[in-house]
Amino acid sequence: MAWSYLTILFVFIGSLVFAEKKLYGENGMRNLTKLGNFNDFWTLDLEPILIPRVSGTPGNIKVREHIISRLESLDSWTITEDKFGQQTPNGKVKFSNIIATLDPKAHKQVVLACHYDSKKFYDFEFIGATDSAVPCALLLALVRELQCLFKYRQKNLDTTLQLIFFDGEEAFKAWTETDSLYGSRHLATKWQNELDANGRNKLYSITHFILLDLIGSSNIVFHNYFPQETDRLFQNLVKIEHLLLRRNLQHRDHYNMYKSMFSTELLQFPLYGIQDDHVPFAKKGVKILHLIPYPFPSIWHQPGDIERNLDKRSIANFKNVLTVFVAHYLKLASWHRECSSRFEK
């Protein structure tokens, strides 16, 4: 009898190892990176966001409606808005954070976040293609392309996926503690004060808070800004990029060269890293993975942060890494027969 239990244990462990190997195997990675159509990402997800969308303006509302509409077209997502008014240097402004949760009954959430507002400049029209239209579009494409695999994910897993699209990240005048991060400051405080039956606040249920920003230009380099908290996650990104490249699943340049996006070089940064929407959550003890390039793209807060200056190869490569990373984090299979049509593109 003991022998049969041991056999069952080995079979169970072996199945887990096989699932892990399958996900990181060449066929598994190829399946995951072929789930989506890049043209669909560009035209259906990204282009409608490439307009001025300053908080409180019609453009902001239009982009918010686009994001919600794209999410509502998928199955099983619970979508809520965190609406509030806040005094700013430009007077009182209405903001709205968008929150989409795959399984609201799950006890834990891994958060993927970005901001959908754009900065107001008074001497030129600012689009903010990298800041942060591309990150928002990447999240929309990610959940659409993984939707079928989400459906056949192992049931009753403790951790689900949650998306947050923040409003009001940008300052209206100069960046200060009160003129910036309107949406993230509001939501972090709100969730800190929402207690469950065990007296724990809602922030306690966030396993990791993963924030995307300034993505879409060429030669971007990400660093591990929180090595004490999320080094394992960052090293997974390094490993995934390496394996994708080794298996010829990444796009090289015209000279057949490839520059790694994820650096293992440790740099010194302030306590909460680069100022962004993660800061209000980090101050309250949430573990952070900040996917923002450093140095910033040369087009940051410039008129040139527009669609024409986006690097499709860089975006596609980052998209591949993110897809495999999220699938692995959520223990998704890299293939399912009911999703097979998606792998045949």
- Residues with active-site annotation: 169, 213
Q: What single letter denotes the amino acid at residue 141?
A: A
| Cα 334 from Cα 35, distance rounded (Å) | 10
- What is the DSSP secondary structure assignment for residue 195, as one 8-state letter? B
3-state secondary structure of 116: coil
Helix (H), strand (E) at residue 95 = strand 91-101
The Cα–Cα gap between 277 and 213 comes to 9
Beta-bridge mates of residue 82:
97
Whether the link from the prior residue into 260 is cis, omega within 30° of 0, is: no
> 70-80 burial by CB neighbour count: b if 16+ within 10 A, else e?
bbeebeebeee
Can you tell me the distance from the alpha carbon of 63 to that of 51, in angstroms, rounded to the nearest whole number? 8
Q: Which tokens in the block code for residue 182?
A: 């309107």
Tokens of 143: 């959940």
Answer yes or no: are the C-beta atoms of 49 and 137 closer than 8 Å.
yes
In three-state form (DSSP H/G/I as H, E/B as E, the rest C), the secondary structure along 260-319 is CCECCCCCCCCCCCCCCCCHHHHCCCCCEEEECECCCCCCCCCCCCCHHHCCHHHHHHHH
Q: For residues 154 and 331, give the distance between their C-alpha atoms in angstroms, rounded to a whole number.
A: 8
SS3 35: coil
Residue 67, CA atoms < 13 Å, CB-side half-sphere: 34
The residues, ordered by sequence, that sit 6+ positions from 27 with a Cβ below 8 Å of its Cβ are 334, 335
Strands in the chain per DSSP E: 78-88, 91-101, 108-115, 159-166, 206-212, 288-291
